[in-house]
Amino acid sequence: MRRQDKKREPAYGTDLLRVWVASVDSSRDVLIGPGILAQTFEGLRKIRNTARFLLGNLGDQPREKFEAEDLGLVS
């Protein structure tokens, strides 16, 4: 693969494919292509940046340990 081809179609990684698979409706025909992957990457980038911002603002807060029952999760 030439260097110019990599710029046109970057290697996004497996996380992007996981997000794409989780977001498609598998009861109908599933489309995938460079444009769809680029849109999914933008959504993933926004999620990561939001999480990074939220975690950065928790930096000085005291941390408490929660159990699964406290969060309403089934363990």
User: What is the rounded CA–CA span in Å between residue 2 and residue 13?
Assistant: 19
The answer as to whether 50 is a domain residue is yes
What percent of the chain is predicted at pLDDT more than 90?
44
The answer as to whether 7 is a domain residue is no
The answer as to whether 46 is a domain residue is yes
pTM of the model: 0.64
45: domain range?
31-58
For 32-46, write each residue's pLDDT tens digit. 998 999 999 999 999
Q: What is the pLDDT of residue 43?
A: 94
Token pair of 18 as six digits: 């996981």
Does 1 have pLDDT greater than 80? no
User: What is the rounded CA–CA span in Å between residue 47 and residue 53?
Assistant: 10
The answer as to whether 70 is a domain residue is no
The count of domains in the chain is: 1
Q: What is the pLDDT of residue 29?
A: 92
